[in-house]
Amino acid sequence: MSASARSVSSVATIPHWIGGKTVAGSPGRSGDVFDPSTGSVTAKLPYASLDELNECVRIAKAAFPSWAATPPLRRARVMFRFRGLLEAASDEIAMAISREHGKTLADARGEVVRGLEVVEFACGIPELLKGEHNENVGTGVDAFSIRQPLGVVAGITPFNFPAMVPMWMFPLAIACGNTFILKPSERDPSASIVLARLLHEAGLPDGVFNVIHGDREIVDGLLNHQDVSAISFVGSTPVARHIYTQGTMNGKRVQALGGAKNHAVVMPDADLDDTANHLMGAAYGSAGERCMAISIVVTVGEDTADRLIEKLVPKIEGLRIGSYSDLNADMGPLITSEHRGRVRDYIDSGVNEGANLVVDGRGMFNDAREGFFLGGSLFDGVQPTMRIYREEIFGPVLGIVRVPDLETAIQLINAHPYANGTAIFTRNGNAARTFTGAIEVGMVGVNVPLPVPMAFHSFGGWRNSLFGDHHIYGREGVRFYTRLKAVTQRWPRDVEHRAEFSMPTMK
């Protein structure tokens, strides 16, 4: 009997969180949650029915009027309390992430910190919601603008960051006065329930934040529900396109972040030791299951490529790959057996299409070993026509494309359908300035391999990496989760006044 079969009967069931409490859900369709390090089932996940989704939306809608009327300062205070509870529970959340995703505990802790930064940004919501004012636009007439919440909004999030990506969404959505429904990934849902519990402990009113589990049936239910005003999504490009098309057709505001094929340009003058170290983390960290992972290195000059490969090969072959419980591991397993199979297929495709497989990660682990492990792979001689160049692999595979000059590198990157993130490694300020100005990509790093903006900026790509007009979190997030209202007013002159002698407060 397999480890998976042995454990099914004894696993826990992960609940929904609706109306301020856990909800077991009615019997029906469900899925298995795995520990990718062992391949064993760790929990059962009930998939909500459409009736349960409708009830969840009803509760969120009922909670909206009073929460929207709550002064932004009080909303901020809930975020302040949540921030403290989140920091105290960071190890618990990191363990929940690693156990279901497979990433190392250090990586999971870093994910929690990056999510916490958005919570800290949301604590400043009274400042962020300030509008504009003009006195005397006409005789005795003033004009001003205000930002108001949308209503019930939803977030649909991916498996690769089960805590950080939800926190890219709900802290700002809630701080702006909306109520929120989170549909987390079916692969690693436990972190979302911990976050819900912490929000409840922070004093968030019941119904303002809800978690409902499911698959495409629930996604389409959210897209089609007339009482859901906006959808935030992070995932693959085909699904992002569907979310955007269906959601906007139903009159919703949508931000749908899709896939990526992130390039790093390495110039001849780059510090190759430093560059190689950065590329190792950017390509193989979290087993390459990041939308900001570097999957293509564009080397300028033949000598640059040869010297870089010489430095990368021993590092890739020396990757320490193991369970999240191994504190010395550099990289964990892939999320599922099926995904590992897809990544292997890409490696096979690269070989068949003529790329030079310098390091072959397929042979580092076999199917007899427990867990969904795969070693790091490195290709040289990658061409733009190859599948391993055109498509997002989402695994520990790095490809090298050789070009003669920076201009060719820029043209190559600008021609790719994905435009999420990119980077350049150089000591030359003019080369860096030329690159950042000419490159048509949403996020750019200069000697920074994963240019993920801080919480007070905003995250988002171009072309097939983003569908919608707003990037996520930062000031763009505030704009997405609010509607602008312009007010023009005139007051009669004979208004009665009376004195107040106590210190004025915001009651």
- Together in a domain, 279 and 250: no
Confirm whether pTM is higher than 0.75: yes
Q: Does an H or E element contain 289, and which?
A: none
How open is the CA angle 365-371-377, to the nearest 5 degrees?
40
Give the model confidence (pLDDT) of 178-205 as tens digits: 999 999 999 999 999 999 999 999 999 9
**pLDDT band (50, 70, 90) for residue 506:** low
**Tokens, residue 270:** 């780059």
**Claim to verify: residue 429 and residue 470 sit in the same structural domain:** no
Q: Which of 389, 375, 297, 284 is nearest to 346 (CA)?
A: 389
Q: Is 507 a residue whose pLDDT tops 60? A: no
Question: 33 in a domain, yes or no?
Answer: no
CB 385 within 8 A of CB 225: no
Contact 119, 76 (CB under 8 A): no
The answer on 223 and 285 residing in a single domain is no
Q: Indicate whether 190 and 331 sit together in one domain.
A: no
pLDDT for 495 equals 56
Question: Does the residue 24 lie in any domain?
Answer: no
Query: E strand or H helix at 416, and its extent?
Result: none
E strand segments, 313-449: 356-359, 377-380, 397-403, 418-419, 421-425, 443-446
Q: Dump pLDDT digits (tens) for 407-464.
A: 999 999 999 999 999 999 999 999 999 999 999 999 999 999 988 888 889 889 999 9
CA proximity to 176, closest of 482, 506, 491 = 482
With respect to residue 123, please indicate whether it lies within any of the assigned structural domains: yes
Q: Please give the Cα distance from 451 to 424 (Å, whole number).
A: 11
382 in a domain, yes or no?
Answer: yes
Q: Which of 56, 123, 176, 291 is catalytic?
A: 291
CATH of the domain at 470: 3.40.605.10
Q: Locate 145 and state its tokens.
A: 């603008």
CB of 477 closer than 8 Å to CB of 309 = no
CB atoms within 10 A of CB 485: 11
Lowest mean pLDDT among 185-189, 296-300, 307-311, 448-452: 448-452
Instruction: For residue 267, tell me if it sits in a domain.
Output: yes
**CATH number for 268:** 3.40.309.10
In terms of domains, do 91 and 137 share one? yes
User: Is the pLDDT at 105 greater than 70, yes or no?
Assistant: yes
CA distances from 492 to 144, 495, 496 (A): 18, 7, 10
Q: How many domains does the chain have?
A: 2
Domain enclosing residue 61, as ranges: 51-258+465-486
Judgement on whether residues 423 and 338 belong to the same structural domain of the protein:
yes
Residues 267 and 224 both lie in one domain: no
| 123 among known catalytic residues | no
Q: Is position 371 within any domain?
A: yes
Same domain? For 349 and 435 the reply is yes
378 and 413: one domain?
Answer: yes
Co-location of 232 and 295 in the same domain: no
Taking alpha carbons only, the member of 317, 61, 45, 11 closest to residue 181 is 61
Determine, yes or no, domain membership for 21: no
Residue 10 lies in a domain: no
Same structural domain for residues 323 and 433? Answer: yes
Same-domain status, 113 and 185: yes
Residue 468: which region, alpha, beta or left (left: phi > 0; alpha: psi -120 to 50)? left
Residue 4 has what pLDDT? 42
Contacts of 74 (CB under 8 A, 6+ apart): none
% of residues, the chain, pLDDT over 90: 86
